[in-house]
Structure 1
Amino acid sequence: MKIIIYGSQYGTARKYAEELAKRTNIEIKSYKDVTDIDHYNTVVYIGSLYAGGVLGMKKTLAKISQCQNKKIIIATVGLADPADTENVDNIKNSMKRQLSKELYENARIFHLRGGIDYSCLNFKHKTMMGLLYKKAVGLPEEKKTAEIKAMIETHNQKVNFVDFESLNQLTDWI
C-alpha cells in the first residue's frame, strides 16, 4: 500500500501532492489527518519549508516504527532554488535534526520549488517575514545564502515557481 502525505500552510505543497496523486493514483492525506502510517510500504511526504523545518514531517514520520522495509520519499517545497547546493545542504542539515538517523538514511529526499503570495499570509507570518526581511537586508553580501537572497527578492510579492515537471523524479522513484 502507498500513501502521499502533505504538510502545506498556504497550498503549494498540497498542489504538488495532488498532482502527484493524480499521476500515480496513490491515496493522499494531509499530515493533520494521518493517524497510522506503519502499514504502508511506500510513504511519500511532501512538506513546505517553514522556519528551518518541514511542516508536519517530524511528527508524521515519527509514526513509522520500522523503516528498513519501507520506501520513504520526502520532498521539501521552498522558495529558494533547489539547484543551489548551499540551499540543499541547509535543508538536509535541518532535516537531520528533525528525523531519526535511521529514517533520514533510509529516505530518498527531493527538493521542489514553491512560491509565496504575501497578500495571503496571516498576521503572524507577515510579521515574521517582515522581521526576517529587515534582518536579511542588513547582512553582508557574503553571508546571504540563496534562500535569503530569494526571500529578499520576493518580499511583498506574489511569485510562483511551481513546476509539476519536477515531480517526474518522484514518480520515477515511486
Structure 2
Amino acid sequence: MSNVVVVYQTRHGATLKYAKWISEALHSDLYHLSDVHANILEKYTTIIYGGALYASGIMGSKKISNYFSGVHDKNLIVFTVGLSNPKTTDYQEIINKNFNDQLQQAISFFHFRGAIDYKKLNIIHRIMMFALKSKIKKSKNASPETSLFLETYGKQIDFTEKESINPLIIHAQHFI
C-alpha cells in the first residue's frame, strides 16, 4: 500500500484527469471523495485532495475540511481546477472562503487549468454561464481572463496540461 492518497471531486472530468496523472506519477491510491471516510485517510501520511472550482467554491471542500481537521501529522495538499490562468489569478479569496485559517496553515495549495464543453452543461449551468457572460459584457474593466472567457464562450475548450502537475509532484515527493 502506498503512503500517499489522491482524493478528488469533479464536475466535468478535468479534476479526475489531474487526479489520475498525479496518482500515476506518485504511485498512489486514488479515490473519489464519495468513496472515502476518515478511517481510510488515517492510513496515509500524505493526503492530496483535488476539487473543481465552481462558483468561487472548491467542490468538496466542506467534507475534506472535516476530514483534514480530524487528522494530525499528515502532509496535506490541495489542488484546484478551474478555467482561470493560475499564473495570473489570485486564489486567496477562494481559499479563505473554503478553508479556515488553521487548515490553510497546514495545507499546500496548487492550481491547475481545466476544461469545459458548453454543450454538455445542464440548463442551470448554462443559465449561470450566460449570466456571467452578460455581466462581463456590461463591465468596463476587461481583463485578459474576461476577454478569453468571451472569446471561448459556447465552445469546447481544454486547458489541461500534464506538465503543470510537476511542482505538486516535486513537493509531494519530499514526504515520500
TM-score, normalized by length of structure 2? 0.88
SS at match of 1:82: coil
SS at match of 1:5: strand
Structure 2 equivalent of residue 151 of structure 1: 149
Q: 1:61 to 1:146 in 2, by over 3 A?
A: farther
Structure 1 equivalent of residue 82 of structure 2: 78
Structure 1 equivalent of residue 115 of structure 2: 115
Deviation at 1:145, TM superposition (A): 4.8
Deviation at 1:138, TM superposition (A): 0.7
Aligned length: 168
Residue ranges of structure 1 left out of the alignment (5+ in a row): none
Q: 1:148 to 1:58 in 2, by over 3 A?
A: farther
Deviation at 1:68, TM superposition (A): 5.2
Matched residues in 1 for 2:69 and 2:60: separation? 17
Structure 2 equivalent of residue 69 of structure 1: 73
SS at match of 1:81: coil
Structure 1 equivalent of residue 166 of structure 2: 168
SS at match of 1:152: helix
Q: 1:150 to 1:5 in 2, by over 3 A?
A: farther
Deviation at 1:65, TM superposition (A): 3.0
> Does residue 42 of structure 1 match 2:64?
no
Matched residues in 1 for 2:156 and 2:106: separation? 36
Residue ranges of structure 2 left out of the alignment (5+ in a row): none
Structure 1 equivalent of residue 64 of structure 2: 60
TM-score, normalized by length of structure 1? 0.89
Structure 1 equivalent of residue 26 of structure 2: 24
Matched residues in 2 for 1:148 and 1:41: separation? 40
**One-letter amino acid of the structure 2 residue matched with residue 128 of structure 1:** M
Sequence identity (%): 30
Matched residues in 1 for 2:12 and 2:43: separation? 29
Deviates more, 1:31-40 or 1:116-125: 31-40
Over aligned residues, Cα RMSD in angstroms?
1.6
Structure 1 equivalent of residue 12 of structure 2: 10
SS at match of 1:72: strand
Deviation at 1:124, TM superposition (A): 1.2
SS at match of 1:43: strand
Matched residues in 1 for 2:148 and 2:72: separation? 37
